[in-house]
């Protein structure tokens, strides 16, 4: 078989291989990537297949065999080319020109049934020219954590990439942050582009405005299709990116999520959330909560996320200046705070059951809720989950009903802030007709999943896996997010 024939070869018996792969990124030319080979692993055990994503690929989960996943996404048979994407990035504030896909590659691109272009990218598929001192691998625990984060965030309404599959690969890896040797995995992540802020930063570093413009045209054509025919599409692109990123951070904040490593190589040009390494969900509302143990100066702590994303957007202006007027860039960024506030307010009101209702005390309630969460240091997740569980139409009748249900939070009952919160929440409910209570109860259930992904929960999933190779708790938990 010639190389061209290999590239077009389709195994019609494997639905994952007979998908209609597109080559939007490949066709940009090899200034943006290197062709690489996948690692050959000693073992392939399918640990996770995301059936929920298959219909979006036009596939019936019943017709895709586990072996199909293994052939395509573990053995990497019958598909080429695999493209390690080139990028740089600001890591903890320092520019790093030695990055790029160091343990992954672009496997292929697929047009979903929603007409959006999706990337399938690997993580843990072996060394590339960008691996530096790394082994090119992903630990099994890293794979488990990324699958869980993506599903939990998706359930919480965050615009996120998701994992399509995770296969255990039978290697023993050495890591400073896991008892070693530790088990290995390879993952396929489905996302709306793996082009990062750092992809543009590299082109600026190389002084290639021509390549910047070509990439920007590609990004707009594929991911900002509503702007294609606008005469000022470049300015509008940046303005929309600012909005998407501001909304994304608001989604993280409302979800109580701390990404952990908001370097510019982990920021997507489509404003989608991805790369779930040392992330954590906040146990309590604490702006200084820091997810990554190596983030000594709390640069990426929970409360810093909005300003860090603003800074990352500001730094992206440098490469974009090659194509977009500086005044347009500044104007675009000036709306960040407003977009963030609007989205955050909406999301917290949704979590309080009141998202789609109009009432004058909305800002007071938002402020008081945050004060309550901050002062009391009750569990951020549990506050909303218990509110969902205990809410009743009686809360409309008397503030005392709200307070009495507070037995779930004995510490809250005595506080003046909680008393004020109950009075205000009751007053707001009292403005509405009794039948609106049903809508509020439904909203609470919709926006406050019962399951959570706090650190002890992840550990309780991981323990049965390492101790008895028992994956049931993992499947049960993912199921609750889907
Ligand atoms: N084990 C490893 N071997 C080789 N390169 C690695 C390894 N771990 C991380 N890298 C590289 O270090 C850089 C920063 O890693 P980071 O953890 O942000 O990304 P990642 O998790 O590997 O991938 P992604 O951002 O696609 O989720 C990236 O260029 C990544 O490819
Ligand atoms: Mg990364």
pLDDT in tens, the chain (482 residues): 444 444 445 556 999 999 999 999 999 999 999 999 999 999 999 999 999 999 999 999 999 999 999 999 999 999 999 999 999 999 999 999 999 999 999 999 999 999 999 999 999 999 999 999 999 999 999 999 999 999 999 999 999 999 999 999 999 999 999 999 999 999 999 999 999 999 999 999 999 999 999 999 999 999 999 999 999 999 999 999 999 999 999 999 999 999 999 999 999 999 999 999 999 999 999 999 999 999 999 999 999 999 999 999 999 999 999 999 999 999 999 999 999 999 999 999 999 999 878 999 999 999 999 999 999 999 999 999 989 988 988 888 877 777 776 665 666 767 889 989 989 999 999 999 999 999 999 999 999 999 999 999 999 999 999 999 999 999 999 999 99
173 lines ligand 1 (CB under 6 A): no
Contact 35/82 with Cβ under 8 angstroms? yes
3-class DSSP state for residue 237? helix
* In a domain? residue 312: no
C-alpha of residue 123 to centroid of ligand 1, in Å? 8
* In a domain? residue 327: no
189 is in an annotated binding site: yes
Whether 68 is catalytic is no
Ligand closest to CA 275: 1
* In a domain? residue 268: no
- Torsion angles phi and psi, residue 379, rounded to 5: -60, 125
Q: What is the pTM of this model?
A: 0.95
C-alpha of residue 231 to centroid of ligand 1, in Å? 38
136 is in an annotated binding site: yes
CA 206 from centroid of its chain's CA atoms:
29
For residue 181, cis peptide bond before it (omega within 30 degrees of 0): yes
Nearest partner of 299 among 69, 90, 127, 38, judged by Cα: 90
Q: How many CA atoms lie within 13 A of 297 on its CB side?
A: 3
146 lines ligand 1 (CB under 6 A): no
Contact 246/336 with Cβ under 8 angstroms? yes
* In a domain? residue 7: yes
100 is in an annotated binding site: yes
Only one residue has tokens 């675009």, namely 332
Cα-based distances in Å from 141 to 13, 362, 465: 32, 41, 9
* In a domain? residue 283: no
Q: Which of 102, 184, 268, 275, when mutated, tests ligand 1's pocket best, judged by the most ligand atoms within 8 Å of its CB?
A: 102
- The domain of 413 spans 347-447
Residue 80 burial (CB count, 10 A): 16
134 lines ligand 1 (CB under 6 A): yes
Nearest partner of 197 among 35, 350, 318, 39, judged by Cα: 318
Contact 99/265 with Cβ under 8 angstroms? yes
Last residue of a domain, one of 172, 196, 220: 196
| Sign of the torsion formed by the C-alpha atoms of 359, 362, 368 and 374 | positive
Domains in the chain: how many in total? 2
User: Measuring from atom 10 of ligand 1, which residue has the nearest CA?
Assistant: 102
* In a domain? residue 157: yes
* In a domain? residue 106: yes
* In a domain? residue 329: no
Query: Which one of the listed residues 68, 101, 119, 265 is annotated catalytic?
Result: 265
3-class DSSP state for residue 93? coil
CA gap 395, 55 in Å, rounded:
42
């Amino acid at each position: 078989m010639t190389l061209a024939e290999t590239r077009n070869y389709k195994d019609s018996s494997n639905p994952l291989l007979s998908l209609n792969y597109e080559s939007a990124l490949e066709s940009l030319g090899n200034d943006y990537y290197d062709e690489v080979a996948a690692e050959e692993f000693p073992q392939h055990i399918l640990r996770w297949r995301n059936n929920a994503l298959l219909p979006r690929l036009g596939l019936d989960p019943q017709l895709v065999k586990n072996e199909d996943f293994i052939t395509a996404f573990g053995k990497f048979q019958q598909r080429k080319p695999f493209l390690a994407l080139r990028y740089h990035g600001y890591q903890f504030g320092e520019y790093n020109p030695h990055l790029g896909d160091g343990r992954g590659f672009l496997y292929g691109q697929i047009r979903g049934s929603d007409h959006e272009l999706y990337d399938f990218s690997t993580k843990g598929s072996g060394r590339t020219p960008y691996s530096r001192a790394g082994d090119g691998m992903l630990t099994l625990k890293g794979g488990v954590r990324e699958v869980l984060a993506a599903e939990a965030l998706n359930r919480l309404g965050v615009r996120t990439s998701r994992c399509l599959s995770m296969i255990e690969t039978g290697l023993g890896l050495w890591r400073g942050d896991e008892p070693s040797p530790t088990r290995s995995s390879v993952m396929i992540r489905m996302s709306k582009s793996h082009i990062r802020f750092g992809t543009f930063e590299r082109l600026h570093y190389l002084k290639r405005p021509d390549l910047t413009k070509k990439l920007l045209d590609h990004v707009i054509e594929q991911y900002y299709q509503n702007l294609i025919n606008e005469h000022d599409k470049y300015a509008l692109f940046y303005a929309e990116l600012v909005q998407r990123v501001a909304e994304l951070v608001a989604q993280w904040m409302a979800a109580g999520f701390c990404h952990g490593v908001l370097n510019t190589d982990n920021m997507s040009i489509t404003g989608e959330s991805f790369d779930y390494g040392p992330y954590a969900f906040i146990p309590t509302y604490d702006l200084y909560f820091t997810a990554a143990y190596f983030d000594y100066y709390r640069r990426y702590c929970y409360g810093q996320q909005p300003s860090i994303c603003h800074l990352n957007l500001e730094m992206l202006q440098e490469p974009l200046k090659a194509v977009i007027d500086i005044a347009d860039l500044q104007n675009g960024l000036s709306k960040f705070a407003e977009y963030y506030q609007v989205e955050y307010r909406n999301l917290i009101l949704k979590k309080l059951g009141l998202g789609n209702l109009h009432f004058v005390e909305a800002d007071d309630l938002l402020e008081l809720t945050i004060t309550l969460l901050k002062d009391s240091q009750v569990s951020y997740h549990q506050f909303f989950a218990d509110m969902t569980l205990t809410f009743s139409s009686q809360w409309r009748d008397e503030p005392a009903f709200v307070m009495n249900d507070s037995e779930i939070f004995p510490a809250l009952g005595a506080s003046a802030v909680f008393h004020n919160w109950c009075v205000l929440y009751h007053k707001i409910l009292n403005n509405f007709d009794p039948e609106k209570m049903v809508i509020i109860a439904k909203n609470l259930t919709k926006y406050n999943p019962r399951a959570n992904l706090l650190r002890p929960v992840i550990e309780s999933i991981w323990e049965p896996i390492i101790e008895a190779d028992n994956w049931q708790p993992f499947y049960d938990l993912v199921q609750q997010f889907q």
